[in-house]
Amino acid sequence: MKSTVYFKSLHDSKDRKDCLTRLIDGILVEWKKFNRGEIVGIKVTVGDSKNTGYIKPELIKLVVNKLKDMGLKPFIFDTNVIYRGMRMNAVDHLSLAYQKGFGPEYLGCPFIIADGVFGSDSRAIKIDLRNLREIRVPSLVNILDNLVVISHITGHMFTGFAGSIKNVGMGMASRAGKQVQHSSVKPRIIKNRCILCGCCIDNCPVGAISEKQEKAFIDTVVCVGCGECISACKFDAVQINWQEDVNVFVERMTEYAYGILSRIKRKIFFNFSFDVTKECDCLAADESNIIDDVGIFASDDILAVDKASFDVLTEKGDIFARFQNTHAHLHMFSYAQEIGLGSTNYELKKL
């Protein structure tokens, strides 16, 4: 049986708010899966401090209002990241969210950081899959029955395409879980290309890179595999094994999404194809779009919504592979189907 993916085009809508409003109104069958009076978590990301492409609070508020109108009790949440910056702890993370307009007085519901002040709320869930026997997630995952995932489609240096699977697998993991997922991705310096310009040293968020014998040197014990050094290097002197490391990365991330969603009864996933940039919202600042704005996708099947979004956006060629030089997203879709995360067999229902 095919999964249903709903799509509302921006081109026949007045603006982004109208596009989302009409999509929300068109998926009544999905909303009815939630039970009146229950709590619903809405997973979002506000992006890094310099990022401007994140899904704006006025759009999130439309989803909040829909849930409240149905007699539900929504809250917004995210988790802390493993690299330095304002999203490394809950105090700075929430301060950044409020600066960007995600305050509860505007949204009409609380905003929480699910893994605690320092990202130390981490519980194990058994999964027993190819790469991982267990995953580490905030305790919230074990008790949350209802979930709405709001994802901003972007490129990504490791996954190529990033949507709902990344937002759940990486974005709902504890900091310990994020570290495990990145642990297979260890950049290394190609010495004959390194001129010791210092960009990778300056940009490493955990201080894993230093000078050694007049070249940059990466301490793999300290390295968290975030990939910022790859973006910083202008001489192609920082590389990873794309054929092996990245496939393991996307498999682990997909296994995390599988384990997390196995605990949550009712789910809806939204993929927003607005302001699609080469890099994800953790890295992208005020970057140019790599694809024209298209619209919004929604489904109760996380794999189907990602695959449908990808298929529509790449009708004229795989722009994510072209910009990121990886087809890891294709492996991610295949592996997600293999482990039963969802289905690549979908029907696109245009509203």
Check residue 237 and give its pLDDT.
92
169: number of CA atoms within 13 Å, CB side? 26
Question: 255 and 132 in contact (C-beta within 8 Å)?
Answer: yes
Q: How far apart are CA 39 and CA 48, in angstroms?
A: 28
Give the Cα separation of 289 and 198 in Å (integer): 29
Q: What are phi and psi of 137, to 5 degrees?
A: -140, 160
Give the whole-angstrom CA distance, residue 129 versus residue 145. Answer: 23
Q: What is the CATH number of domain 3-181+244-350?
A: 3.40.50.11440
Strands 154-156 and 160-162: antiparallel
Do the Cβ atoms of 6 and 297 come closer than 8 Å?
yes
Domain boundaries, the chain: 3-181+244-350, 186-239
Closest C-alpha among 270, 229, 224 to residue 249: 224
Task: State residue 207's pLDDT score.
Answer: 92
Q: Class of 186-239 per CATH? A: alpha beta
* Helix (H/G/I), strand (E/B), else coil: 42: strand
Each of the 351 residues of the chain gets a pLDDT tens digit; together they read 899 999 999 999 999 999 999 999 999 989 999 999 999 999 999 999 888 889 999 999 999 999 999 999 999 999 998 877 899 899 999 999 999 999 999 999 999 999 999 888 999 999 999 999 999 999 999 999 999 999 999 998 889 999 999 999 999 999 888 888 887 787 889 999 999 999 999 988 889 999 999 999 999 888 887 777 877 888 989 887 766 688 999 999 999 999 999 999 999 999 999 999 888 888 767 778 889 999 999 999 999 999 999 999 999 999 999 888 889 999 999 999 999 999 999 999 999
Strand segments (E) across the chain: 3-9, 39-43, 73-78, 111-113, 123-126, 134-137, 146-152, 154-156, 160-162, 188-189, 209-212, 215-218, 238-239, 266-273, 295-299, 346-350
Taking alpha carbons only, the member of 136, 227, 141, 139 closest to residue 182 is 227
Q: CB of 55 within 8 A of CB of 89? A: no
Could you tell me the pTM of the whole model? 0.88
Distance CA 84, CA 87 (A): 8
Q: How far apart are CA 62 and CA 27, in angstroms?
A: 14
Phi-psi sector, 100: left (phi>0), alpha (psi -120 to 50), beta: alpha
pLDDT attached to residue 243: 62
Q: Which residues contact 85 (CB under 8 A, 6 or more apart)?
A: 48, 49, 92, 205
